[in-house]
Amino acid sequence: MDKERAGIQSVEVGFALLDGLTRSRGPLMLKDLAAAAGMSAAKAHRYLVSFQRLGLVVQDARTARYDLGPAALKLGLASLARLDAMKLARERMPALMEAVGHTLALAVWGNRGPTIVHWEESPQAVTANLRLGDVMPLLASATGRCFAAYLPREITATLVQEELQHAARLRRTDLPADAAGVDALLREVRERGCARVVDTLLPGIVAFCAPVFDADGHLALGITTLGSIATFDPAWGGAVEAPLREAAERLSRDLGQADDTAARAPAAAAAR
């Protein structure tokens, strides 16, 4: 069994070069790529010769810099085509449930707004009166605020306006009163990378929703957790929000989101 699991060390060593190119913002000189992989330039060169033959790496004849090749692109595209964001998210729910200790839900954008498509209750679940297929409000729910913050404005504008008018009729002071208030609210969501409501959608309930992005930087789904204010940590960076946001960020990376995509997504959403 140990021999079967030993693998081929040279493959693992060589992969460090490919990983270095993946993490870099552009082509690298041999000495820089070798340093990123933690090996000598002579050793790195031997691996790169083989990777070039396989099409995993190319070298620019003019600058002598190395970059990922067409075979690497084919592998990446094939992997992305087989990824299922919902499947990956569902598989990770039990571990996340253990980390946060509260009910979890997954939501996607439907034809009427953010829609709950998966629900897992914790042992200490509270009565939330939410069901699969429920559409969440954009301003009064953490799930809705998450989608409103990261989707293009033209998709959410009509629903946001309807909710503003409804909140005005009910004279709700816990929701934004105008477009400027909505912009400030959604800007905070993007700055924190997570949405929160406290005693807003349901009495005595706190909820967070963290965004998950695909390889193109588009919002793929939202991961929501909620619980009673008596047992639920509502703090930013606390026992609930931190592991939730970390799980969403990790899932985004596994779906192909680049590190610079994470930085661009909030700015792009704000511009839209």
Q: Which domains are delineated in the chain?
A: 9-81 (1.10.10.10), 85-255 (3.30.450.40)
How many angstroms separate the CA atoms of 52 and 222, rounded?
40
pLDDT at 127 over 70: no
What is the secondary structure of 168-232 as a DSSP string?
A: HHHT-SSS--SHHHHHHHHHHHHHHTSEEEESSSSTTEEEEEEEEE-TTS-EEEEEEEEEETTT-
* Model confidence at 120: pLDDT above 90: no
Structure tokens at 137: 């409000």
Summarised one tens digit per residue, pLDDT across range 137-175 is 999 999 999 999 999 999 999 999 999 999 999 999 889
pLDDT over threshold 50, residue 10: yes
H helices of the chain, in order, are: 2-6, 9-23, 30-37, 41-54, 70-82, 85-100, 142-150, 153-170, 179-192, 241-254, 259-271
Closest to 150 measured CA to CA, from 222, 206, 88: 222
The reported pTM is 0.70
Question: How far, in Å, CA of 16 to CA of 66, rounded?
Answer: 14
Does residue 198 register a pLDDT over 90?
yes
